[in-house]
Amino acid sequence: MTSAPRPVRPDEAAWLQRREHAWLPVFAVLAVIVLTTVGGFVVAAALAQPAGPPVGFPGLVEVQPLSGWEPADPGSVDGRPFVQLTRGNGTLLVLDWGASPGDADVLARTVVDEALTPSFSQLTVSDRLEPVVLADGTPGARFTFVGVDPESGGSIEGEVTAVVDPSGRGVVFVGLGPEGSLAFIDGDIHTMIDQAEVT
């Protein structure tokens, strides 16, 4: 059943008469829905401007920090050097793994055995490796983990992205944060990793 248009009474005051534009309010509702649904991504992307000089290892990888992320002291894990960017209690480590034992999948599994297992207790690693491709076309493998930091006793969650450069050297990106906080920085971390230049 369809509704017939309501006839306008001749005695009806002009301000009471409804001009029922069919399309205008529909477009307005659509615009509100689109703005509400995807507007946050646009604003977040606009706020995530590159800031400061790139960090990394010359000739291997360079990562451009987004605004709010600052370089912190470099260090090493099991003799493998890393640089790091921090934002609050969120951290992105970039490790020069040296010669990779295989492709990105193999490297990712090696990271679990040689870097995460010795560093965390009660380590839980996601079941599957997620394939990723950086903006420059470099393929990689990604997984998440949760573990307890033996020093602080705090529960840490993280995400590892392993890539291998054309010469066979491995680069490992590790996003870290206290459990429950990673979801709020993984957008930035993914952006910085995606834009990293692996040479």
Partner 1 sequence: MAVASRRGFRRSSLHHVGFFQPRQPAFWLYVVIVVATGVVALGEQSFYRNISASGWALSWLLLALYALPVFLVVYFLDLYEREPLSLVAAALVWGAVAATTLSAIGNLGWGLTVARVGGPEFAARWTAALTAPFVEETLKGCGVVLIYLIARDEIDDVMDGFVYGAVCGLGFAIVEDVFYFMSVFGGQPAGVLQGFFLRVIASGLYSHVLYTGLVGMAIGVVVSRRATEPLGRRLWIAAGLCALAVFGHFLWNSPLLDFFPAEPWTGADWLMVPVATAVKGLPLLAFVGIAVWLARRREQRWLQASLSPEVGLDGISAEELQVLASPKRRRAARAQMRRRAGSRASSLLHRLQREQVNLAMVASRVPDDHDPALMRQREYCRSLRDALQAIPGAAPAQTASGDG
Q: Does 43 bind partner 1 (CB under 8 A)?
A: yes
For partner 1, the binding residue among 7, 19, 36, 152 (CB under 8 A) is: 36
Which of 7, 14, 19, 22 binds partner 1 (CB under 8 A)? It is 22
* Stretch near partner 1 under the rule CB under 8 A, chosen from 12-20, 111-119, 144-152, 165-173: 12-20
20 token code pair: 């029922």
CA distance linking residue 192 with residue 114, whole number of Å: 25
By CB under 8 A, is residue 19 in contact with partner 1?
no
Smallest separation (angstroms) from partner 1 to the CB of 85: 13
Binding residues with partner 1: total (CB under 8 A): 43
Judged by CB under 8 A, the stretch of 53-61, 71-79, 86-94, 100-108 that binds partner 1 is: 86-94
Q: Does 8 bind partner 1 (CB under 8 A)?
A: no
If one counts every other C-beta atom within 10 angstroms of the C-beta of residue 145, the result is 20
The secondary structure of the chain, three-state, reads: CCCCCCCCCCCCCHHHCCCCCCCHHHHHHHHHHHHHHHHHHHHHHHHCCECCCCEEECCCEEECCECCCEEEEEEEECCEEEEEEEECCEEEEEEEEEECCCCHHHHHHHHHHHHHHHHCEEEEECCCCEEEECCCCCEEEEEEEEEECCCCCCEEEEEEEEEECCCCEEEEEEEEEECCCHHHCHHHHHHHHHCCEEC
Examine residue 184 and tell whether it contacts partner 1 (CB under 8 A): yes
Q: Is 85 in the site for partner 1 (CB under 8 A)?
A: no
38 near partner 1, judged by CB under 8 A: yes
Asked if residue 118 binds partner 1 (CB under 8 A), the reply is no
Check residue 188 for interaction with partner 1 (CB under 8 A). Answer: yes
Summarize as ranges the residues that interact with partner 1 (CB under 8 A).
1-3, 6, 9, 11, 15-16, 18, 20, 22-23, 25-26, 29-30, 32-33, 36-44, 47-48, 67-68, 87-90, 177, 180-181, 183-185, 187-188
